[in-house]
Amino acid sequence: MNTNELLSSLGVPVAAFTGGSLLVRSPIDGAQIGAVPENTGEEMRAAVGRAHAAFLQWRNVPAPKRGELVRLFGEELRGHKAALARLVALEAGKVSSEGEGEVQEMIDICDFAVGLSRQLHGLTIASERPGHRMMEQYLPLGVVGIISAFNFPVAVWAWNSALALVCGDTCVWKPSEKTPLTALATQALFERAVARYAGAPAHLSQLLIGRADVGEALVDDPRVALVSATGSTRMGRAVGPRVAARFGRCLLELGGNNAIIVTPSADLDLAVRGILFGAYGTAGQRCTTTRRVIAHASIHDELVSRLDRARAQLTIGDPTEPGNLIGPLIDKGAFDAMQAALTAAKAQGGQVSGGERALADRYPEAWYAVPALARMPKQTDIVRHETFAPILYTLKYETLDEAIALQNDVPQGLSSAIFTNDIREAEAFVSASGSDCGIANVNIGTSGAEIGGAFGGEKETGGGRESGSDAWKAYMRRTTNTVNYSRELPLAQGVKFDV
Ligand code: NAD
């Protein structure tokens, strides 16, 4: 099926992806696959108004009943997994198994949220006063604005909306302007679930298509209680202060610069496999992509030669064809940024292999690149910068302290890993003086997180946490309640105020 047929099969009306001003091109061959009508800032504000009205009803629906809607949505995703996954592959250029993995992640978070809908619990706290009880409750927060990036065009929305909806919030979504088609398809599936749910208020979750200015209208609207924004650090730098200026709540999921440390005791076969997928899977376009390898001097040369040989064998091509592991970059801008980074790496003393344009004859309008490896003499400026492309920088270390210092000496703090069979090294890496990232793994790579854990990172990655564990608390308002069931009115801390 082509994109038009896929969209129609998923219930998207033809008018939603034809005749509009936002031209969508498949990164696979550069062909135009949609012309989507765009929304304005004014329409965004109107949508927020509708979302707020829906919130006033939805917050009173018992949480397990809210969970039922998310359960129905999970069913729709299960029933249409193949079609949505294929659309992800066509619009974002992911290899088929990664497209399917992305939809599976949506299904997983729906399952998680359904269970969560019966466990939105606070604490009961001992009161210092006789005849008093203290407790805390988590209550619905309001409208959640979701801004998402092109590289996880649908999963990121699901991580946010599945939790937000069971928490009693309503959602307004502004997807990446590079991937509006998968967003339209996801919204259509959500509407199918709503149609099967008796008594759902209208406008529980709305989709608005637009560029940064439409995102800004969402960010600036004081009725949006939480802005959850996923994208570049540049975007977060613009969004964070605007939300803070109106005392709104912000959940930022921004860029990463993730490293893997490989120690002398490491299982090198395992490390090579973990690094290859981490560095070059999704053509290096994951926030958790492995961008740096920090290898002990005793195994550095062997490891890097093995990586370089394996890198050169990765099959590049149409990601929907079986056997291809490396799909295209999203657009020419991404390819140009990759070339600029490789030029900088060479100027800073790096020895680069790969990185050339690939398949230009077959796909003159698409941007495939040979995965690159750059042996660096030290952690130079370009190594400390996130380039959203398949470039792996390699560095050498002598002591574990030095390796951890190098791993942490970047502005970003998303994901990290160590390959070691030495328990002391493994524990040191995940300890208080180890990795400073939100994710620190042992003997697995930096990418491909499960939804059960809280996902996010520190420093310029933005500090947000979403998905599993207790990330749901960001989508709720905590109240502390003290109940006096005595006939006295003792004041806290023994204060007297009697006339
Ligand atoms: P991007 O920053 O260009 O765009 C992301 C989204 O932000 C888009 O929807 C865009 O329209 C919107 N946007 C941009 N400027 C805005 C503004 N001033 N106000 C409101 N909205 C604005 O990012 P991208 O190129 O789509 O994605 C790649 C980046 O995203 C990488 O840096 C990657 O590391 C990061 N990312 C992070 C995570 C994470 O969970 N930490 C996940 C995926 C991607």
Q: How far apart are CA 20 and CA 437, in angstroms?
A: 42
Predicted pLDDT at 1:
87
- Average pLDDT score over residue span 62-85: 98
Whether residue 159 has pLDDT greater than 90 = yes
At which residue do the structure tokens 């270390």 appear? 397
- Average pLDDT score over residue span 78-105: 98
Whether residue 183 has pLDDT greater than 90 = yes
Predicted pLDDT at 436:
98
Predicted pLDDT at 446:
98
287 labelled catalytic: yes
Amino acid at 32: Q
Q: How far apart are CA 29 and CA 27, in angstroms?
A: 6
CA end-to-end span of the chain: 81
Q: Measuring from atom 13 of ligand 1, which residue has the nearest CA?
A: 212
User: What residue ranges line ligand 1, CB within 6 angstroms?
Assistant: 147-152, 174, 176-177, 211-212, 215-216, 219, 230-232, 235, 238-239, 253-256, 287, 386, 388, 414, 461
Residue 218 — very low, low, confident or very high, per pLDDT cuts 50/70/90?
very high
128 labelled catalytic: no
The predicted-structure confidence for 391-414, as pLDDT tens digits, reads as follows: 999 999 999 999 999 999 999 999
Q: How far apart are CA 477 and CA 225, in angstroms?
A: 10
Amino acid at 447: S
463-486 in b/e form (b: 16+ CB < 10 A) is bbbbbbeebbbbbbbeeeeeeeee
Give the chain's mean pLDDT.
98
φ, ψ of residue 211 in degrees (nearest 5): -100, -160
The one catalytic residue in 105, 253, 386, 425 is: 253
The predicted-structure confidence for 327-381, as pLDDT tens digits, reads as follows: 999 999 999 999 999 999 999 999 999 999 999 999 999 999 999 999 999 999 9
The one catalytic residue in 171, 250, 287, 437 is: 287
Close Cβ partners of 259 (under 8 Å, ≥ 6 residues apart)? 290, 291, 292, 293, 294, 406, 407, 410, 416, 417, 446
Mutating to test ligand 1, I would choose from 220, 287, 291 the residue with most ligand atoms within 8 A of its C-beta, which is: 287
Close Cβ partners of 409 (under 8 Å, ≥ 6 residues apart)? 379, 384
The predicted-structure confidence for 252-294, as pLDDT tens digits, reads as follows: 999 999 999 999 999 999 999 999 999 999 999 999 999 999 9
Question: Tokens at residue 1, please?
Answer: 């099926």
The DSSP 8-state label assigned to residue 207 in this structure reads E
Predicted pLDDT at 268:
98
Whether residue 162 has pLDDT greater than 90 = yes
- Average pLDDT score over residue span 89-112: 98
Predicted pLDDT at 499:
86
Q: How far apart are CA 380 and CA 344, in angstroms?
A: 10
- Cα distances (angstroms) measured from residue 461 to each of 295, 327, 387, 455, 456: 24, 26, 14, 11, 7
